[in-house]
């Protein structure tokens, strides 16, 4: 039998059984009527009816067996029916005489069904039995012996058609394998590029934040703000580079949230104003004053579109102006019809290139455009986002006269959460009873403290067993489970919990494993979603908002009025190994030097304790053990900002047996060196929060 999964075989068995019921049974009834109608000796009619009755019983039995299969029974049913189907057809043809012509095509129909649903081996088994069975019919049946040419033509078809179909299936299978290989290669390339780009980006952001903490002037404040905004935009574009591999597959990118259109356009203006001014061109943003209500949608997608379009306009406009406009085309009860347009006085686009401009990686390299660099992805990503929002990106351009890109979309109007006008900040939901489970102490503590900060009632569990005990003893509004726990993994905890409840609470998986295979497995479980580490307030708030969309409470007045924590002068740390912004995140959770010092120290201790276990797994070439320990270390590393170590652990989680066998010593050396350098950097990072240093900050 073909090397396919039990689930594929189960579906194939059910499909074949359904075809017998829908097609075979009606034909069997007609054949019985014809057998009774024909004036033939009684024993011949009885033989035909007996064979057909056997087929009817066989059809019913296989149908019910296919509806209650096990992993082993599905494979057994598939093998048995691949043999029994053609045998029963052969008996029917031998006994039925002329009336059996009704089922002459069942041989090929069934053989191809097994081939396309299960694979070539199953098809060859069914074809072999069909050839043997039909050859017997041609030799033994008087009717078929008297029609040799008719029988021979069908025999040739029975041999040739499955053989040809098998060739097509092999070509299809090879083409699919090549496509999957190319897709994996592309995704891996994009992932590698993303990681390499994020390393210098992290350094840029960290340097800007360190500048922000030092002595400042009005000019430095402006430059720092520009650096941070451009870095945020670059980070968004890196994420969209990864999204490119999923264009046409994803239907959305996040939960719709209330936002102000002016906030989005102001972000675009802030990001591009300096560049435009440096080229001596005007950058103008106009939003229709009639747009006086918030809308419900995905602000990051909209900002991505406008940033791409306006960024290209600034790039290809040597003089003149760029204008970003938003107009209200129509307002109905509960929705706006909006027009977005970007117009420039730039070099323009020749007519022959305009149809291809939205294709991935397509660049116009004629005339003055040769001097401009780019990947050719901006308009592709923008067009896809607009399509997801229900519109179509349009273009009007002429060489030397500039270009205009525009689109129209309808968006529901919404009430903005109180005291929250930032398109990138998720609103808080009203306080909930939340269970959180993680077998790593530092991750559990951070998750609890972040949720407590937002006013939720939080119950912590240190492992899967403890989580199940809490779930059995009381009700919760939401549950957050670490996917990889030592005793019981989060998926098993959820499945056990959901099995015994009619209405289980919305459950999220918290994990550092960003692989597509894990995401597919968790999404198929039917939970509320996945929250990836490192944890942030925005991620947690977005997750809760996705399951409680009508309970957005916004940022509480007290939280808005809360003074910013005083700046801390940090010693220079190697940003290649550590992201200093983790300090700011920890201070947002609890602005106490002792807390920051303890969290970083606990994380360092966890890394030290995990190192011998991970090293031993690598030395023993224990692939599963290495993946498990690398995942645990990655989660801790992300929580305390050890970005270089987290990236190494990510690579270890994806290491193949062959690579592990050939690179074991190198991996051990790289792990030891990275851990040592990361711990040294972390020690520098937490030094200001120890003793007198924290008091003087």
pLDDT digits (tens, 9 = 90+) for 596-613: 888 889 899 999 999 999
Instruction: Give the closest residue to 411 by CA, choosing from 307, 299, 248.
Output: 299
Structure tokens at 135: 């050859």
Tokens representing 258 are: 């209330």
Cβ-contact 27, 103 below 8 angstroms: yes
Residue 410's SS3 state is strand
| DSSP secondary structure string for all residues of 610-663 | HHHHHHHHHHTT-HHHHHHHHHHHHHHHHHTT-HHHHHHHHHHHT--HHHHHHH
Q: Is 337 helix (H, G, I), strand (E, B) or coil?
A: strand
Strands (E), 149-259: 257-259
Residue 221: what pLDDT?
A: 64
Q: What is the DSSP letter of 22?
A: I
Higher pLDDT, 257 or 49: 49
Distances from the Cα of 457 to the Cα of 131, 436, 675, angstroms = 70, 11, 36
Whole-number pLDDT of residue 209: 58
The answer to whether domain 257-410 and domain 565-697 are alike in fold is: no
Q: What pLDDT score does 671 carry?
A: 92
Q: For residues 15 and 351, which has the higher predicted lDDT (pLDDT)? A: 15
Q: How far apart are CA 442 and CA 427, in angstroms?
A: 26
Cα–Cα distance measured from residue 600 to residue 359, given in angstroms and rounded to the nearest whole number: 47
Return d(Cα 1, Cα 76) in angstroms, integer. Answer: 9
CATH of 257-410, one of 3.30.300.30, 3.40.50.1820, 3.90.226.10, 3.30.565.10: 3.30.565.10
- In our burial notation (b when 16+ CB lie closer than 10 A, e otherwise), range 359-379 reads eeeebbeeeebeeeeeeebbb
- Rounded distance between C-alpha atoms, residue 615 and residue 630, angstroms: 10
> Which tokens is 514 given?
């960003």
Helix (H, G, I), strand (E, B) or coil at 577: coil
Q: Residue 328: which of 338, 318, 314 has the closest Cα?
A: 338
Tokens for 546, please give them: 């996705």
Contact between 416 and 349 (Cβ < 8 Å):
no
- Model-level pTM greater than 0.75? no
Question: Could you tell me what percentage of the chain is helix, strand and coil, using 3-state DSSP and rounding each to the nearest 5?
Answer: 65, 10, 25
Q: pLDDT (tens digit, 9 = 90+) per residue, 71-105? A: 567 788 888 888 898 888 888 888 877 767 777 78
- In the predicted structure, residue 239 carries a pLDDT above the cut 70: no
Backbone φ, ψ for residue 284 (5° rounding): -115, 135
Give the CA distances from residue 591 to residues 125, 376, 641, 646, in Å, rounded to whole numbers and listed in that order: 71, 45, 17, 25
Parallel/antiparallel/unpaired status of strands 457-461 and 507-511: unpaired
Scanning the structure block, which residue is given the tokens 């106490």? 592
- The whole-chain average pLDDT of the chain stands at 78
- In the chain, the N- to C-terminal Cα span, in Å, equals 71
Distances (CA, A) of 232 to 8, 200, 238: 44, 13, 10
In the chain, where are the structural domains located?
6-146, 257-410, 433-533, 565-697
% of the chain surpassing 90 pLDDT: 12
Picking from 60, 58, 38, 62, the residue whose alpha carbon sits closest to that of residue 48 is 38
Q: Comparing C-alpha atoms, which of 190, 196, 189, 185 is closest to residue 647?
A: 196
Answer whether 115's CB lies under 8 Å from 122's CB. yes
pLDDT digit string (tens) for 221-231? Answer: 666 666 766 66
Q: What is the pLDDT of residue 38?
A: 63
The stretch 141-164 carries a mean pLDDT of 84
pLDDT of 264: 85
**What is the arithmetic mean of pLDDT over 288-309?**
86
Strands 507-511 and 529-532: parallel
pLDDT tens-place string over residues 172-209: 777 777 776 666 666 656 655 655 565 556 556 656 65
Other beta carbons within 10 Å of 330: 11
Q: So what's the pLDDT on residue 184?
A: 62
Burial per residue of 461-494, b for 16 or more beta-carbon CB atoms within 10 angstroms, e otherwise: bbbbebbbebbeeeebbbbbbbbbbeebbbbebb
Return the residue matching tokens 């740390």.
573
Rounded-to-integer distance, Cα 514 and Cα 311, Å: 30
φ/ψ of 414, rounded to 5, equals -150, 160
Find out if CATH 3.40.50.2300 is the number for domain 433-533: yes
Q: In CATH terms, is domain 565-697 a member of 3.30.360.10?
A: no
* 417 pLDDT tier (thresholds 50, 70, 90): very low
407, pLDDT greater than 90: yes
DSSP labels, 187-205: HHHHHHHHHHHHHHHHHHH
Residue identified by tokens 């009774």 is: 36
């Amino acid at each position: 039998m073909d090397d396919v999964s039990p689930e594929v075989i189960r579906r194939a068995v059910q499909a074949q059984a359904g075809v017998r019921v829908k097609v075979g049974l009606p034909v069997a009834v007609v054949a019985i009527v014809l057998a009774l109608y024909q004036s033939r000796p009684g024993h011949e009619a009885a033989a035909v009816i007996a064979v057909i009755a056997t087929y009817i019983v066989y059809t019913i039995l296989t149908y019910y067996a296919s509806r209650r299969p096990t992993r082993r029974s599905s494979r057994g049913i598939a093998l048995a029916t691949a043999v029994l189907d053609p045998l029963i057809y052969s008996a029917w043809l031998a006994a039925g005489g002329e009336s059996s012509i009704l089922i002459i095509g069942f041989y090929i129909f069934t053989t191809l069904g097994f081939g396309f649903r299960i694979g070539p081996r199953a098809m060859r088994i069914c074809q072999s039995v069909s050839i043997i069975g039909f050859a017997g019919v041609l030799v033994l049946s008087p009717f078929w012996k008297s029609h040799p040419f008719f029988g021979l033509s069908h025999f040739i078809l029975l041999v040739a058609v499955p053989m040809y179909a098998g060739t097509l299936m092999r070509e299809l299978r090879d083409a699919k394998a090549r496509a999957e290989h190319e897709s994996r290669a592309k995704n891996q390339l994009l992932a590698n590029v993303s990681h390499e780009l994020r390393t210098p980006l992290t350094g840029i952001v960290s340097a800007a934040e360190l500048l922000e903490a030092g002595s400042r002037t009005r000019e430095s404040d402006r430059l720092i703000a520009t650096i941070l905004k451009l870095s945020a935009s670059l980070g968004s574009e890196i994420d969209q580079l990864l999204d490119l591999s999923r264009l046409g597959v994803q239907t959305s990118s996040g939960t719709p949230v209330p936002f102000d259109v002016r906030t989005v356009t102001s972000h675009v203006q802030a990001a591009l104003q300096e560049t435009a001014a440096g080229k001596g061109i005007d950058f103008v943003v106009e939003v229709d004053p009639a747009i006086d209500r918030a809308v419900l949608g995905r602000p990051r997608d909209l900002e991505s579109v406008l940033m791409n379009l306006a960024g290209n306009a600034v790039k290809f406009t040597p003089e003149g102006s760029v204008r970003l406009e938003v107009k209200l085309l129509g307002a109905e009860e509960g929705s706006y019809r909006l027009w977005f347009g970007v117009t420039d006085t730039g070099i323009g686009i020749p007519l022959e290139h305009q149809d291809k401009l939205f294709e991935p990686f397509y660049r116009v390299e004629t005339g003055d455009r040769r001097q401009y660099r780019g990947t050719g992805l901006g308009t592709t990503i923008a067009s896809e986002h607009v399509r997801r929002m229900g519109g179509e990106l349009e273009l009007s351009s002429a060489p030397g006269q500039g270009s205009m890109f525009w689109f129209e979309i309808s968006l529901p109007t919404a009430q903005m959460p109180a005291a929250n006008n930032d398109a990138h900040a998720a609103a808080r939901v009203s306080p909930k009873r939340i269970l959180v489970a993680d077998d790593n102490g530092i991750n559990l503590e951070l998750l609890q403290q972040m949720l407590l900060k937002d006013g939720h009632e939080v119950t912590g569990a240190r492992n899967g067993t403890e989580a199940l005990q809490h779930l059995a003893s009381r009700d919760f509004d939401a549950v957050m489970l670490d996917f990889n726990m030592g005793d019981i993994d989060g998926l098993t905890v959820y499945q056990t919990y959901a099995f015994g409840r009619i209405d289980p609470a919305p459950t999220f998986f918290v994990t550092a494993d960003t692989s597509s295979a894990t995401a597919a497995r968790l999404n198929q479980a039917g939970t509320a979603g996945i929250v990836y580490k490192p944890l942030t307030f925005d991620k947690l708030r977005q997750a809760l908002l996705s399951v409680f969309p009508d309970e957005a409470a916004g940022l509480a007045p007290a939280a808005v009025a809360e003074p910013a924590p005083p700046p801390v002068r940090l010693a220079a740390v190697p940003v290649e190994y550590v992201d200093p912004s983790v300090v700011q995140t920890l201070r947002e959770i609890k602005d106490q030097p002792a807390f920051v010092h303890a969290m970083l120290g606990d994380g360092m201790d966890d890394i030290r304790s995990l190192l011998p276990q991970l090293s031993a797994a690598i030395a023993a070439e224990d692939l599963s053990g290495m993946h498990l320990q690398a995942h645990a270390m990655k989660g801790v590393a992300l929580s305390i900002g050890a970005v270089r170590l987290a990236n190494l652990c990510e690579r270890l989680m994806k290491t193949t047996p062959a690579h592990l066998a050939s690179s074991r010593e190198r991996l051990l050396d790289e792990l030891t060196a990275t851990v040592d350098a990361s711990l040294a950097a972390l020690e520098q990072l937490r030094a200001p929060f120890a003793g007198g240093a924290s008091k003087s900050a």
